[in-house]
Structures are given as C-alpha cells and as structure tokens.
C-alpha cells in the first residue's frame, strides 16, 4: 500500500532503477515497505483509511457479504451504530451516500462481479456463490492477469455501447458523462434501473458476454520490454 502522494516518487524510482524485469519487483517492494511506514504514521494520527480496517471488513468482506444489497445493509447498520470507534459511523454514512445516491446500481453490481471473478484463489474459495453470478465465480479456475485484463476490457466495451443487450436502453456510462460533464444543471444522473434490486442477474451477466473475435483484447505473447532510461 502507498499513500497517493508517493506515486510520483514511485514513478521516478521505476524510471531510474529498472534495467531488467526483475528490478520492477525489487523497486515495488522497497517503495511498498517505505509507503507502509508512512501509512502507519497517518494511522496513528487518525487520518487514514487504515483506521477503518475493521469497519471496512464488516461492510465489504466478500467471504461474508456476497451481494451489493448485503453490503449496503451492512453500511446502514454501521452508520446507525452508537459511538462507532474512530468515526466509523460517520465513514459509513459517507460511503452509503456515495453508493446509494451517486453510483450507478448497475455499475456497483458489475464491479462486484469483476472483483469476485478475479479475486485471489483463497478469496474465491471462501466466497459463497451468489444468484447475481449465474456461472458461479467460485467454480472458476484460478484467474490470471491476462484473464483479468481481458475481462475488464470486455466489460468496458459493453459499457461504451448503447446497451449490454438488445433489450436495454442507453448505458449508464453515457448518463454519468451527461450528468457530470455535459449537462451539470440537468440534475443528478437518471440511472437505468435506479435501484440495486432492479438490476437482474441476467443484466449483470450480459456485461461479461464475450466480444466478437475482431473486438477482443489482444495481449502480446512476450513480456513488455523495460522502459529506456531517461
């Protein structure tokens, strides 16, 4: 884990020190260790999400809460708790507001399905199968980076199209762009559908349907060459 302020430093270190592929892991390890120490200092000051670790686990642990609806319910319980430690209730109220009043219900469910499909194997084994995943994420073979990149590309292309299936209307991606960037005075986004419970398992699965062969992501057969030193 790294504080966001440390990203420019990491970029400089990668450019300056990477001459061979194995150098990447070394630089990342060094910067992660340094970054973790910085995060711990922030934690001691009560100013970082590390202080919310237990609350985040209660509200978003996929092994226990397998659906977006269950996660929202957990946030509601956390937000209503009296005297939450270190402002957990306040944090939960903020997260709940973002998820229920700002985020697209379809995007929430599709994102959760992405996380399930490409979670570490241990998490896959612990995560119970959910109705929102007709094919059963836990039954899949261990995911690879190539699998994750290809799946995310597929989902992104589905969101960029008018609809993930022929019977759907405009994608929420376009509605979000309209509300945030184009027509700011037109009110909040009008998501279709507007409630988590109205997003069907079939609608989520449609975003993962394979693209036509000519539209699929093509990854290189060989590892990327290291960037030239500047």
Contact 17, 23 (CB under 8 A): yes
> What is the pLDDT confidence band of residue 224, given thresholds at 50, 70 and 90?
low
List Cβ<8 Å contacts ≥24 apart for 81-90. 84/55, 85/54, 85/55, 86/46, 86/51, 86/52, 88/52, 88/54, 88/55
pLDDT value of position 63? 64
pLDDT value at 192 more than 60: yes
Q: How many CB atoms lie within 10 A of CB 203?
A: 20
pLDDT value of position 36? 57
What backbone torsions phi and psi does residue 12 show, to the nearest 5 degrees? -65, -40
pLDDT in tens, 38-64: 655 655 554 556 677 788 888 888 766
pLDDT in tens, 130-181: 444 444 444 556 778 888 899 999 999 999 876 544 345 567 888 888 888 8
pLDDT in tens, 68-101: 999 999 999 999 886 655 578 888 999 999 999 8
pLDDT value of position 133? 47
- Residue 169: C-alpha distances to residues 86, 153, 159, 194, 197 (Å): 43, 21, 11, 13, 18
Which ranges of 7-136 would DSSP assign to H, the alpha helix? 7-17, 21-44, 53-60, 68-80, 88-97, 105-117, 121-126
pLDDT in tens, 18-34: 888 888 888 877 777 66
Would you call 87 exposed, middle or buried from its count of C-beta atoms within 10 A (0-12, 13-18, 19+)?
middle
Q: Which two tokens stand for residue 174?
A: 């376009």
Closest alpha carbon to 124 in 112, 113, 140: 140
pLDDT value of position 211? 93
Closest alpha carbon to 60 in 47, 72, 49, 51: 72
pLDDT value of position 128? 45
Residue 63's H or E segment, with its range, is none
pLDDT in tens, 105-120: 999 999 999 988 887 6
**Single pTM value for the model:** 0.67
């Amino acid at each position: 884990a790294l504080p966001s302020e440390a990203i420019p430093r990491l970029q400089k270190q990668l450019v300056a020190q990477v001459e061979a592929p194995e150098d990447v892991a070394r630089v990342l390890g060094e910067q992660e260790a340094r970054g973790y120490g910085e995060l711990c200092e922030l934690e001691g000051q009560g100013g970082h999400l590390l202080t919310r670790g237990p609350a985040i686990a209660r509200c978003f642990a996929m092994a226990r809460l397998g659906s977006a609806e269950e996660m929202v319910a957990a946030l509601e319980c956390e937000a209503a708790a009296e005297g939450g430690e270190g402002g957990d209730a306040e944090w939960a109220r903020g997260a709940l507001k973002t998820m229920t009043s700002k985020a697209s219900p379809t995007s929430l469910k599709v994102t959760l399905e992405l996380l399930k499909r490409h979670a570490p194997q241990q998490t896959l084994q612990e995560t119970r199968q959910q109705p929102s995943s007709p094919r059963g994420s836990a039954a899949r073979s261990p995911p690879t980076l190539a699998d994750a990149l290809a799946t995310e590309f597929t989902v992104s292309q589905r969101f960029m199209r008018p609809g993930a299936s022929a019977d759907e209307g405009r994608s929420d991606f376009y509605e979000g762009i309209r509300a945030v960037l184009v027509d700011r005075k037109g009110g909040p986004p009008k998501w279709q559908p507007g409630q988590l419970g109205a997003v069907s398992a079939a609608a989520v699965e449609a975003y993962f349907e394979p693209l036509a062969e000519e539209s699929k992501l093509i990854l290189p057969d060989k590892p990327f060459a290291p960037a030239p030193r500047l």
